[in-house]
Structure 1
Amino acid sequence: MKAVLCESYGPPKNLVVKEVESLIPGIGEVVIEVKASGLNFPDTLIIEGKYQFQPEMPFSPGGEVAGIVKTVGEGVSHLKVGDRVMAGTGWGGFAEEVIGKASNVFPLPDGISFEQAASTMMTFGTSYHALVNRAKLKAGETLLVLGAAGGVGTAAIQIGKALGAKVIAAASSDEKLNYCKSIGADMTINYSQEDLKTQAKALTNGNGVDVIYDPVGDRFTEPALRAIAWKGRYLVVGFAAGEIPKIPLNLPLLKGCSIVGVFWGGFFRNEPHVNAENFQTIVKWLVEGKVQAQIHKKYNLEQVAEAMTELTSKKVKGKIIFVT
């Protein structure tokens, strides 16, 4: 079968596409014939050795897929050969086959396409875990989403609205912000032109934001934190802007707020049953049309370097996916 391989750490142009042997599932695993896979920012980090975990070389990046169960390992009872599924894999997804832990492989209703499912697993899994399990976002509260036009950002906007929150989308251009409004954002901040703290305070009548969803980090974190409400929750999701920020600890003291880490990869490995419950709701919302993954562009596996370069250009709205 064909797979994108990282054989040494480096930029996307170093990735190669090769024919490799078909996969064999272990205990509690299934092999999935991949029909579509989603590209996420962590994929650009893992190939450079900069992510929280590193697979053994050589490996395929790609942490979320949708496809058809090809073979089933020992001890798997809720899945069978031929099932349509969606799965979070951590890595391995940019290939024609991938092994998935059965605890993080979920049946896919006929009404949801492989492309839609492959754009959902990591982004909606992360954002739902962040907003529901970690922040306990309530109806009527205000949610500020940084990097709002990206994959996890667009998911956070829709989940925030589904939970009854008022959503402020923050992004770097008016084009991105108009896009965020089209998928449900109530208010917007262009943080390339406006002061993030000042505008967030103004849009909440000086009260501050109840929950901040931050996959961006860098210079945006401190001004956003300064705009948090009393007993607010600041969700640390990632550092797409580059630098990991250093936070003055007097700010959470003065605000009475919580700084909460969000790592979906660790969550689904440590709490698979809670993750499965989350996806029951996510899939239900997908079927009902309450949420929908936003697909920016589709590529084939041979275009992996081009796709990753486009993702890191900060011009992507929604998700890039690979179809196989």
Structure 2
Amino acid sequence: MRAMQLTDYNTALELVEREMPIAKAGEVVVQVATCGLNFGDTLLINGKYQEKPALPFVPGMELAGTITQTGEGVGGFYVGQRIAAYCGVNGLSEYAVLRAEVCVAIPDAMPFTDAAAFLITYGTSHIALEDRAQLRSGERLLVLGASGGVGLTAVELGKLMGAEVIACARGADKLALCATLGADHLINSDTDDIRASVKALGGADVVYDPIGGIQFEAAMRACNPGARLLPLGFASGDVPQIPANILLVKNMTVLGFYLGGYAKLHPAALPRSFEKLMAWYLEGRLKPHVSNVLPLERANDGLDLLRTRKAVGKVVVDVGA
């Protein structure tokens, strides 16, 4: 089978031939149709992610496809079934062996492109906003990096959950997309003063931040008393240091969130979230925004779109193309 393999950190992926996988007990083999790329993949390739697989390995944190084998003891899944999976690695290959527990059945009405753009971005935003921040209807939600893969889903879900949504992104075109997904207010991070703009709107009750750096600091200083801040990543490359005195004076809470780690702490949270998200999708209330679909051999181009923050929404690799 063909796969895009990482041989050494900080190098480009190589298109290679690998042995076909075989399902062991508790596993399934999936013929991969599509693989969703995430910013975490770029960190994994640089050896800077929270987890560090042994080299060489095939990146690709989430995939969608069809089960071709089931191992001993696998229940609830069958050969020919369409699934999506939050797998961590192996998505950029024509076949992948996965633990059955990371797979989610998908309906026939969901195209594989949507399925590969769904679990991580929507799962991250939904659990972060509902479980961690406990976002309430009527609260003011500030989304930094609002035009990115997770940012757009936070705008969409925040509006669906009844919040007043402030979208912060780079440039008028990206902000226009945020507006179509329900953002009530738009802030251009290239030209606007984030702190002053948010305070002029009444301050933020919840901050959703995959960016870090100076944007996190500006957002924190624009928070209302009792606000909750969600650091989810540091796309800026700058990990902010948080002044504890500001947290004290404003009675604010910082709630770190990493989907993979949360899944280990609260394994029931992901299936519960995905069930609700899938219902909203089938009702037409959610629609993944995929900006780029590329063939397997162009996976490096897709990763560059994420590194340079040129992607708007999700980048998906069509493995079967």
Q: TM-score scaled by structure 1? A: 0.96
Per-residue displacement from partner, 1:100-143 (whole Å, max 9, x unpaired)?
Answer: 22222111011110000100111111111101111111111111
Question: After the TM superposition, which of the residue ranges 105-114 and 263-272 deviates more from structure 2?
Answer: 263-272
For 1:81, the equivalent position in structure 2 comes to 79
> Counterparts of 1:97-136 in structure 2 under 5 Å?
97-136=95-134
For 1:19, the equivalent position in structure 2 comes to 17
For 1:93, the equivalent position in structure 2 comes to 91
- Structure 2's unaligned 5+ residue stretches are none
Alpha-carbon distance between aligned partners in 1 of 2:277 and 2:192, rounded to the nearest angstrom: 34
SS, match of residue 136 in structure 2: coil
Alpha-carbon distance between aligned partners in 1 of 2:264 and 2:19, rounded to the nearest angstrom: 27
> Counterparts of 1:135-154 in structure 2 under 5 Å?
135-154=133-152
Q: Give yes or no for the alignment of 1:264 onto 2:259.
A: yes
> Counterparts of 1:239-278 in structure 2 under 5 Å?
239-278=234-273
Alpha-carbon distance between aligned partners in 1 of 2:89 and 2:23, rounded to the nearest angstrom: 15
For 2:306, the equivalent position in structure 1 comes to 311
For 1:47, the equivalent position in structure 2 comes to 45
Partner AA of 2:95 in structure 1? E
**Per-residue deviation, 1:289:** 1.1
Q: Give yes or no for the alignment of 1:281 onto 2:279.
A: no
For 1:190, the equivalent position in structure 2 comes to 188
SS, match of residue 161 in structure 1: helix
Alpha-carbon distance between aligned partners in 2 of 1:263 and 1:319, rounded to the nearest angstrom: 19
Q: Alignment RMSD, CA only? A: 1.1
Is this contact kept in 2: 1:88–1:100, CA < 8 A? no
1:232 paired residue among 224, 227, 234: 227
For 1:165, the equivalent position in structure 2 comes to 163
For 1:10, the equivalent position in structure 2 comes to 10
The structure-2 alpha-carbon separation of the partners of 1:269 and 1:98, relative to structure 1 and needing over 3 Å to count, comes to farther
SS, match of residue 316 in structure 1: coil
**Per-residue deviation, 1:254:** 1.2
Per-residue displacement from partner, 1:168-210 (whole Å, max 9, x unpaired)?
Answer: 1001111111111011111111121111111011112xxx211
The structure-2 alpha-carbon separation of the partners of 1:176 and 1:192, relative to structure 1 and needing over 3 Å to count, comes to same
**Per-residue deviation, 1:228:** 1.2
Alpha-carbon distance between aligned partners in 2 of 1:239 and 1:210, rounded to the nearest angstrom: 21
Alpha-carbon distance between aligned partners in 2 of 1:270 and 1:76, rounded to the nearest angstrom: 23
**Per-residue deviation, 1:87:** 0.7
Quote the sequence identity (%).
40
**Per-residue deviation, 1:99:** 2.3
- Structure 1's unaligned 5+ residue stretches are none
Is this contact kept in 2: 1:104–1:276, CA < 8 A? no
**Per-residue deviation, 1:267:** 1.7
For 1:59, the equivalent position in structure 2 comes to 57
**Per-residue deviation, 1:270:** 3.3
